[in-house]
């Protein structure tokens, strides 16, 4: 007998190990079909797709109406341009109480989004291409979409490119400032202190929703540097002037926190060459322009008029003399200056 019997059918070497005879065979399992592996991979991909679709559907559904049955509805793009502790958080909650507004918070507080012009533009495109999803996103037809942007978050540094973008994409700017810069300073110092002190049961809060929380935060009385006080107030004042000058070519409106609180309307007259800002109180004009500011905002954004509400509670209330630790130094420094008016205003 040779290696293979002449009577034995020829067999593949994968089935017959060479031996003195082939009565004993070593069988190797056949290779798995590639079709089976592909089927498993396809099934797995389909299941992942279903999961991702399901988890994202509630977010995507927010804006499907804009591209579907709401496609014919105009959408106004806006940005709230402000400074820290000027009431922008409270104002944004008022806007978001409108069923047709989605204002997405302080998105440029994240440094990576504003590290250069390119990242700023990428972030703006995501917002205004309706691809930015937050808790503020609405399930109704959105008529106005935007966010709030602080002056010191790349806005002034890259104002030329941003103004060009605003004009090209028809983004409306809503300036929100505070007239009483001394009260803003108190709020800034107190908020900075609470970041470390965490007066509310070990938690830092920039905004509160109860009188008890407000009382706890306002119990801290900051010490104001009286030596640099006037120059600090002047610097904040000039930041407002520069912002208004840089963005003067955009479609914009100007709001002041005090007018929102007291429900007054003002006319703003600016002379950027001489850097003078004159405010005309409508009460002095015998009501000729006494229109509620929140109504003005809604009309500016092309919104159906609604009553806007907020659950936030003001933290620092009452005379400033009760809120500043070294009040006598502050009072002495500002008396007789153009900032003396800040000492007495309630808001």
> Tens digits of per-residue pLDDT, 92-112?
999 999 999 999 999 999 999
Same domain for 178 and 111? Answer: yes
Residue 4: pLDDT band (50, 70, 90) is very low
Same domain for 41 and 141? Answer: no
**What residue spans of the chain are helical by DSSP H?**
34-67, 88-96, 117-128, 159-169, 181-197, 211-218, 229-246, 257-262, 293-300, 327-334
CATH number for the domain spanning 317: value is 3.40.50
pTM: 0.73
The dihedral sign for the CA sequence 331, 335, 339, 344: positive
Same domain for 58 and 186? Answer: no
What is the arithmetic mean of pLDDT over 15-27? Answer: 42
Hey, is 341 helix, strand or coil? helix
**Residues 283, 241 contacting (CB under 8 angstroms):** no
What is the arithmetic mean of pLDDT over 149-177? Answer: 98
Q: What is the pLDDT of residue 272?
A: 41
**Domain end point (choices 72, 95, 119):** 72
| Domain enclosing residue 333, as ranges | 73-343
Residue 23 in domain: no
**Domain end point (choices 51, 72, 93):** 72
With a cut of 80, say whether residue 178 has pLDDT above it: yes
5-19, 135-149, 163-177, 235-249: lowest mean pLDDT where? 5-19
Q: What are phi and psi of 105, to 5 degrees?
A: 85, -170
Q: What is the pLDDT of residue 33?
A: 59
Q: What is the pLDDT of residue 248?
A: 97
Residue 172 in domain: yes
Same domain for 83 and 59? Answer: no
Work out the mean pLDDT of the chain and round it to a whole number. 81
With a cut of 60, say whether residue 18 has pLDDT above it: no
Q: What is the pLDDT of residue 140?
A: 61
Say how many domains are in the chain.
2
Residue 5 in domain: no
């Amino acid at each position: 007998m040779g290696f293979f019997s002449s009577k034995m059918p020829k067999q593949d070497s994968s089935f017959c190990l060479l031996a003195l005879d082939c009565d004993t065979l070593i069988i190797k399992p056949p290779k798995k079909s590639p079709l089976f592996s592909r089927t498993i991979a396809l099934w797995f991909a389909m299941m992942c797709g279903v999961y991702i679709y399901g988890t994202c559907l509630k977010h995507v559904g927010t804006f499907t109406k804009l591209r579907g049955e709401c496609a014919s509805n105009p959408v106004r793009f806006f940005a709230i341009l402000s400074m820290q502790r000027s009431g922008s958080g409270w104002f944004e909650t008022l806007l978001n109480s409108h069923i047709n507004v989605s204002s997405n918070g302080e998105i440029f507080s994240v440094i990576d989004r504003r590290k250069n012009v390119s990242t700023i533009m990428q972030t703006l495109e995501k917002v205004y291409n309706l691809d930015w999803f937050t808790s503020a996103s609405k399930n109704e037809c959105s008529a106005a979409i935007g966010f709030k942007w602080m002056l010191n978050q790349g806005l002034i540094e890259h104002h030329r490119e941003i103004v060009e973008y605003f004009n090209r994409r028809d983004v409306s700017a809503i300036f929100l400032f505070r007239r009483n810069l001394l009260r803003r300073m108190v709020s800034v110092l107190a908020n900075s202190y609470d970041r470390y002190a965490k007066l509310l049961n070990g938690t830092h809060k920039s905004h509160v929703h109860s009188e008890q929380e407000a009382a706890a935060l306002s119990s801290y009385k900051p010490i104001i540097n009286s030596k640099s006080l006037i120059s600090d107030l002047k610097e904040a004042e000039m930041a407002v002037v520069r912002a208004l000058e840089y963005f003067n070519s955009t479609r914009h409106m100007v709001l002041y926190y005090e007018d929102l609180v007291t429900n007054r309307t003002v006319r703003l007259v600016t002379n950027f060459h001489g850097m003078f800002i004159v405010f005309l109180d409508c009460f002095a004009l015998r009501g000729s322009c006494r229109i509620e500011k929140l109504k003005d905002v809604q009309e500016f954004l092309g919104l159906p008029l609604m009553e806007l509400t907020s659950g936030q509670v003001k933290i620092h209330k009452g005379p400033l003399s009760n809120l500043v630790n070294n009040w006598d130094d502050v009072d002495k420094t500002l008396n007789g200056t153009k900032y003396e008016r800040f000492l007495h205003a309630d808001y």
